[in-house]
Amino acid sequence: MLSYPIAFDISTQCLASSCWCCPTYQGAVATSSDERDKVQKKTFTKWINQHLMKVRKHVNDLYEDLRDGHNLISLLEVLSGDTLPREKGRMRFHRLQNVQIALDYLKKRQVRGFWQM
């Protein structure tokens, strides 16, 4: 039977260079995760732009350019072939309403997202 210590002193220097307890390893994992996020954001932005090109729209910053709902609705229209209503104003209420229109459309079409898993 293996026995494990009850407490582990993380300040103790580990001899393994890739041990989870080493600050160097933890920093490398965080850097790798940041790089992966950047690659995924860039890839998804290119995919969106490939589809939005059909309606002569473009996204530079994924987070900023989708937050008012206009480009999000345009993307759904291109992908589905349906026409969706949208709010024309620029106030916060209009932006939230446009995002809600997109989410309601996805729910109606029974599209599952990561938030439902």
Structure tokens at 40: 């995924």
- For residues 102 and 84, the answer to whether their CB atoms sit within 8 Å is yes
Domain range list for the chain: 23-112
| pLDDT exceeds cutoff 90 at 26 | no
Give the single-character DSSP code of 14: P
| pLDDT exceeds cutoff 90 at 47 | yes
Q: What is the pLDDT of residues 76-110, one digit of tens each?
A: 999 999 999 999 998 999 999 999 999 999 999 98
Query: Cα separation of 19 and 21, whole Å?
Result: 5
Fold of 23-112: Actin-binding Protein, T-fimbrin; domain 1 (1.10.418)
Contacts of 42 (CB under 8 A, 6+ apart): none
Phi-psi sector, 110: left (phi>0), alpha (psi -120 to 50), beta: left
| pLDDT exceeds cutoff 70 at 41 | yes
pTM of the complete model: 0.69
* Single-letter amino acid, residue 50: Q
pLDDT, averaged across the chain: 83
pLDDT attached to residue 4: 46
| pLDDT exceeds cutoff 70 at 36 | yes
| pLDDT exceeds cutoff 80 at 10 | no
